């Protein structure tokens, strides 16, 4: 619905605001949005972006005398582009989670969502009815955000756009779609799909322009011109141009009657005459009765399908988690104090089966394995998804015997597959509820998988570190918002001048205070999210290095990276984008990678380091001397610097062998044309020794500890004044 009356943004009088009109020192502004969201915005093949939002954005820019540029993309990429400064403005639904990341203008439209399904498929009148079903949503959209927040087993399928989500329902890949109503109802008609809206409208949400919180001037400018467009009628002219498409709906009987009112009288006359024909009336009654009977049969069949779907896995047809827990509860009621063994079973590398033989073979394998478990005689069986099963028995379970029986080859129609299993067992006499027994069994399965054992009995020592779990949860909630970059200066031991700095991350945790990287970095690495911290640190390093160069004291900054940053992510593309975004210099950024990290896929690492050298970013071997093949790395990888580990530097004054290793490393590096950085110097005797053997750069507490950016900046300024 259109915002009007008291909901329209207030506009101050010109006499009050002439002196405070926001301005932007730029010639254009970049708007981003979905390329498949008609009639709001879309981009036809080989055409220019169109839609209500496109016209509104052009009008706001023209009103201010600048140019609006439009970038249409997958919706999941639009928010990423806005958050990372690649675009300026994105129109979107307002939510509390998004308010933490962006600033929003006054709303200018309201849109609702609804649940859509196939006429012959399951039914769902509200969101809670989606439990146990596969639901297609727009990737990174508002519906996906709401479903992620629900603590319910909903199989969320994030699609490229609304059309893709509707096709998933039409082809049976998804049971339902949860989508914005305005666009969906028109696309269903345009695409000729047999899909119905099965729920009333839900989640009425305000639509507004979102701006990165780092751009307050842009937000003030956009808010002002949006208010002006409401005041001068520009917004309403654009809305009227698109009203027929924005408020489009299927033609109803009342619409037909209204459009063809001149035919109503003759039609009524004909209906009166026809109603007098008793024979025809009887046939109509019989037809209607038959239709009602068919509808009743369909409803009963749908109820049976829903009841079955609620207790069985949709692809394999095996009993699901809820079914398993219900059966265990029944066993407990029958024998409340009897022995009960719950076994978790994981079919390892099921993903390899999918990638090699396809989904059909993988499903057949899961079904055949489930049949094998049923033949073994377990009282309860459940399939938990992703190749994981759970079984329960009231009789003693010999894990070795179970492994021997269920690991024999599974014979399918076209091939024979040897299942690779991990088992976890937990024995109980009625102390734990079924959910807790299942959790303990899965904990034992994870321990068996990690230790590469066939089976593992549960014991409390297997429980994960609660502190680590809570820290990871806090990271997912806050990301890098509370993290800080500390800088430890690096010195020329001859002149005593700062030649660079190493960036070290700190986490200013709201509850635990300042956390050192050794506390949380291993947790983030194990969880596979360390790349986001690396990306943030590189962004900080490029910005700081540029600031230092501007004030006349160039200071290259080193950032630690992991091998996974190179192998599993587009590290080079990210660095190039960061340098372009901040107009930074490549030679102001240095990357440090541990020599043990170079072991993983050395050919790919070598190619990546070569590309970094081509764009001007120097790379160093960090913690040199702690790995296994140090000398080969110096010759095989395009690095410019060797960083000697503190374990050697800190003891070289009291241990002759450590002194000899450091001296030999410096000589070898110089022979290969490499620079040497020694970290961990804690006294001036060590500095004197390093200077004597030709080490170019020294880093350690003897000079300075890692310090906040403001303190480091003051440190550099004092050096400038003393020079």
How far apart (Å, rounded) are the C-alpha atoms in residues 352 and 355?
5
- Residue 679 annotated in active site: yes
- Which positions ≥6 away from 690 have C-beta within 8 Å? 493, 649, 662, 678, 681, 698
The CA distances from residue 416 to 362, 386, 511, 641, in Å, are 12, 20, 54, 53
Q: Cα 335 vs. chain centroid, distance in angstroms?
A: 45
How far apart (Å, rounded) are the C-alpha atoms in residues 125 and 307?
16
Three-class DSSP labels, 577-612:
HHHHHHCCCHHHEEEEEEHHHHHCCHHHHHHHHHHH
Angle ∠(92,96,99) on CA atoms, nearest 5: 65
* Cβ atoms of residues 392 and 342 within 8 Å: yes
Structure tokens at 181: 């109503």
How far apart (Å, rounded) are the C-alpha atoms in residues 496 and 690?
13
How far apart (Å, rounded) are the C-alpha atoms in residues 245 and 242?
6
* Cβ atoms of residues 87 and 30 within 8 Å: yes
How far apart (Å, rounded) are the C-alpha atoms in residues 501 and 716?
11
The SS3 assignment for 617 reads coil
Report phi then psi at 505, rounded to 5: -85, 145
Structure tokens at 313: 């896995």
- Pairing between strand 340-347 and 388-393? antiparallel
For residue 39, whether the previous peptide bond is cis, meaning omega lies within 30 degrees of 0, is yes
* Active-site annotation holder among 158, 364, 502, 679: 679
- Which positions ≥6 away from 83 have C-beta within 8 Å? 101, 102, 212
How far apart (Å, rounded) are the C-alpha atoms in residues 323 and 310?
8
How far apart (Å, rounded) are the C-alpha atoms in residues 298 and 433?
38
How far apart (Å, rounded) are the C-alpha atoms in residues 87 and 71?
8
* DSSP at 2: B
* Cβ atoms of residues 661 and 651 within 8 Å: no
CB atoms within 10 A of CB 434: 22
Catalytic residues, which ones?
679
């Amino acid at each position: 619905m259109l915002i009007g009356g008291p909901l329209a943004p207030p506009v101050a009088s010109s006499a009050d605001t002439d002196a405070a009109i926001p301005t932007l020192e730029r010639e254009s502004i970049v708007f981003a949005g979905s390329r498949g969201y008609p009639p709001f915005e879309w981009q036809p093949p080989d055409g220019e972006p169109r839609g209500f939002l496109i016209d509104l954005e052009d009008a706001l820019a023209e009103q201010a005398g600048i140019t609006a540029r439009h970038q249409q993309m997958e919706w999941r990429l639009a928010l990423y582009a806005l958050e990372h400064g690649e675009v300026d403005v994105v129109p979107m639904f307002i939510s509390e989670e998004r308010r933490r990341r962006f600033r929003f203008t006054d709303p200018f439209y309201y849109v609702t969502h609804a649940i859509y399904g196939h006429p012959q498929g399951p039914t769902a009148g509200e969101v809670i009815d989606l439990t146990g079903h596969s639901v297609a949503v727009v990737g990174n959209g508002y519906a996906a955000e709401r479903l992620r927040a629900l603590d319910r087993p909903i199989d969320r399928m994030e699609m490229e756009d609304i059309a893709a989500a509707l096709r998933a329902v039409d082809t049976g890949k998804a049971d339902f779609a949860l989508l914005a109503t305005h666009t969906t109802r028109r696309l269903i008609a345009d695409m000729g799909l047999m899909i119905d809206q099965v729920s009333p409208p839900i989640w009425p949400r305000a639509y507004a322009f979102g701006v990165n919180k780092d751009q307050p001037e842009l937000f003030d400018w956009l808010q002002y011109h949006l208010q002006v467009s409401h005041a001068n009628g520009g917004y309403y002219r654009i809305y009227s141009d698109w009203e027929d498409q924005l408020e489009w709906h299927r033609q109803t009987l009342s619409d037909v009657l209204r459009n063809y009112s001149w035919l109503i009288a003759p039609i009524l006359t004909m209906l009166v005459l026809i109603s007098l024909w008793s024979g025809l009336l009887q046939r109509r009654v019989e037809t209607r009765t038959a239709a009602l009977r068919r509808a009743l049969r369909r409803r009963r069949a749908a109820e049976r399908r829903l009841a079955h779907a609620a207790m069985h896995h949709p692809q394999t047809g095996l009993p699901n988690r809820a079914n398993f827990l219900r059966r265990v509860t029944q066993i407990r009621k029958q024998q409340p104090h009897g022995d009960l063994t719950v076994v978790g079973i994981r079919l390892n590398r099921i993903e390899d089966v999918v990638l090699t033989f396809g989904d059909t073979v993988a499903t057949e394998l899961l079904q055949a394995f489930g049949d094998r478990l049923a033949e073994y005689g377990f009282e309860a069986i459940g399939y938990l998804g992703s190749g994981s099963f759970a079984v329960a028995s009231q009789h003693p379970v010999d894990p070795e015997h179970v492994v021997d029986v269920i690991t024999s080859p599974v014979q399918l129609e076209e091939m024979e597959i040897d299942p690779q299993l991990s088992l976890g067992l937990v024995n109980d006499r009625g102390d734990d509820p079924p959910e807790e027994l299942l959790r303990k069994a899965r904990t034992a399965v994870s321990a068996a998988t990690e230790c590469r054992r066939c089976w593992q009995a549960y014991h409390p020592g297997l429980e994960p570190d609660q502190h680590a779990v809570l820290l990871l949860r806090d990271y997912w909630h806050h990301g890098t918002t509370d993290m800080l970059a500390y800088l430890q200066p690096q010195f020329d031991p001859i002149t005593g001048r700062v030649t660079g700095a190493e960036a070290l991350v700190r986490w200013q945790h709201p509850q635990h205070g300042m956390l050192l990287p050794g506390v949380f970095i291993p947790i983030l690495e194990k969880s596979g999210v360390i790349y986001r911290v690396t990306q943030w640190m590189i962004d900080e390093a490029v910005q700081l290095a540029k600031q230092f160069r501007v004030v006349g004291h160039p200071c290259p900054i080193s950032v630690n990276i992991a091998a996974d940053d190179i192998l599993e992510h587009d590290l080079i593309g990210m660095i190039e984008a960061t340098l372009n975004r901040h107009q930074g210099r490549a030679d102001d950024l240095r990357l440090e990678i541990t020599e043990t990290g170079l072991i993983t896929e050395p050919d790919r690492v070598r190619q990546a380091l070569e590309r970094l050298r081509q764009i001007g970013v120097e790379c160093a071997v960090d913690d040199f001397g702690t790995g296994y093949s140090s000398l080969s790395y110096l010759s095989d990888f395009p690095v410019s610097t060797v960083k000697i580990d503190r374990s050697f530097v800190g003891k070289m004054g009291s241990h002759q062998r450590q002194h000899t290793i450091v001296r030999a490393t410096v000589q070898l590096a110089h022979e290969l044309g490499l620079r040497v950085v020694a970290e961990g110097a804690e006294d001036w005797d060590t500095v004197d020794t390093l200077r004597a053997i030709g080490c170019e750069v020294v880093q350690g507490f003897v000079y300075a500890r890692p310090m906040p950016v403001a303190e480091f900046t003051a440190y550099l300024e004092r050096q400038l004044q003393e020079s």
